[in-house]
Structure 1
Amino acid sequence: MMARPRRFLESLVRPWLHREDRVVKEEENLEAIAAKEQKVFKYDTLVAATHNFHPQQKLGEGGFGPVFRGRLEDGREVAVKRLGRGSTQGVKAFTNEAILLSQVHHKNVVNLYGYCARADEKLLVYEYVPNESLDKFLFSPLPGGGRGDDPGAGRNWAELLDWNRRYEVVLGVARGLLYLHEDAHTPIIHRDIKPSNILLDERWSPKIADFGLSRLFPEDLTHVNTRVTGTFGYMAPEYVMHGSLSTKSDVFSFGVLVLELISGRKNSSFILKAEDAQSLPEWAWKLYKKGQSLELMDPVLRSTAVPEQVAMCVHIGLLCTQSDPKLRPDMKRVVVILSKRRSTLEEPIRPGIPGSRYQRRAYGPQSSNYALGESLSGTIDASNSASSDASTSKANSKTTTSTITTNASSQAPHLYHEQHSIQH
Structure 2
Amino acid sequence: MQKTFFGSVNSCPIAANPTLFKRRATKHNGMKLALVLTFAMICLLAGILFLAFVCRRRTRMWEVKQSSYREEQNISGPFSFQTDSTTWVADVKQATSVPVVIFEKPLLSITFADLLSATSNFDRGTLLAEGKFGPVYRGFLPGGIHVAVKVLAVGSTLTDQEAARELECLGRIKHPNLVPLTGYCVAGDQRIAIYDYMENGSLQNLLYDLPLGLQSTEDWSTDTWEEAHNNGIQNAGSEGLLTTWPFRHKIALGTARALAFLHHGCSPPIIHRDVKASSVYLDYDLEPRLSDFGLAKIFGNGLDEEIVRGSPGYVPPEFSQPEFESPTPKSDVYCFGVVLFELITGKKPVDDDYPDDKEATLVSWVRGLVRKNQASRVIDPKIRDTGPDEQMEEALKIGYLCTADLPSKRPSMQQIVGLLKDIEPAAN
Normalised-by-shorter TM-score class: 0.5 to 0.7
| 1:167-196 deviation digits (Å, cap 9, x = unpaired) | 111001100000110102320111111111
Q: Partners in 1 of 2:102 and 2:207 — Cα distance?
A: 40
Match of 2:373 among 286, 291, 294: 291
| 1:67-94 deviation digits (Å, cap 9, x = unpaired) | 322223333311122355xx53598899
SS of residue matched to 1:159: coil
* TM-score, with length taken from structure 1: 0.60
Q: Partners in 2 of 1:43 and 1:215 — Cα distance?
A: 23
Higher strand share: 1
Aligned residue number for residue 198 of structure 2: 129
Aligned residue number for residue 235 of structure 1: 315
Q: Partners in 2 of 1:291 and 1:83 — Cα distance?
A: 44
Q: Is the 1:105–1:111 Cα contact (8 Å) retained in structure 2?
A: yes
Percent identity of equivalent pairs:
35
Aligned residue number for residue 158 of structure 1: 238
SS of residue matched to 1:203: coil
Structure 2 counterpart of 1:157, one-letter code: G
| 1:313-365 deviation digits (Å, cap 9, x = unpaired) | 101000111112221110111111212279xxxxxxxxxxxxxxxxxxxxxxx
Q: Partners in 2 of 1:92 and 1:171 — Cα distance?
A: 37
| Deviation (angstroms), 1:273 | 6.7
From the superposition, tell whether residues 177 and 65 of structure 1 become closer, same or farther in structure 2 (CA, over 3 Å).
Answer: closer
* TM-score, with length taken from structure 2: 0.59
Q: Partners in 2 of 1:303 and 1:58 — Cα distance?
A: 37
Task: Kindly indicate whether residue 104 of structure 2 is the aligned counterpart of residue 104 of structure 1.
Answer: no
Aligned residue number for residue 47 of structure 2: none
| Deviation (angstroms), 1:204 | 2.5
Q: Is the 1:134–1:196 Cα contact (8 Å) retained in structure 2?
A: yes
Q: Partners in 2 of 1:131 and 1:269 — Cα distance?
A: 25
SS of residue matched to 1:291: coil
Q: Partners in 1 of 2:239 and 2:404 — Cα distance?
A: 30
Aligned residue number for residue 80 of structure 2: none
Aligned residue number for residue 327 of structure 1: 409
Q: Partners in 2 of 1:305 and 1:315 — Cα distance?
A: 17
Q: Where in structure 1 are there 5+ consecutive unaligned residues?
A: 1-23, 25-30, 217-223, 343-424
| 1:144-186 deviation digits (Å, cap 9, x = unpaired) | x99xx97679x99333312222111100110000011010232
Q: Partners in 1 of 2:168 and 2:182 — Cα distance?
A: 13
Task: Kindly indicate whether residue 281 of structure 2 is the aligned counterpart of residue 199 of structure 1.
Answer: yes
Match of 2:362 among 280, 284, 304: 280
Structure 1 counterpart of 2:276, one-letter code: K
| 1:103-146 deviation digits (Å, cap 9, x = unpaired) | 32112111111112244664321100112211112234558x99
From the superposition, tell whether residues 259 and 64 of structure 1 become closer, same or farther in structure 2 (CA, over 3 Å).
Answer: closer
Aligned residue number for residue 50 of structure 2: none
Q: Partners in 2 of 1:106 and 1:117 — Cα distance?
A: 25
Task: Kindly indicate whether residue 255 of structure 2 is the aligned counterpart of residue 173 of structure 1.
Answer: yes
Aligned residue number for residue 79 of structure 2: none
**CA RMSD after TM alignment:** 4.2
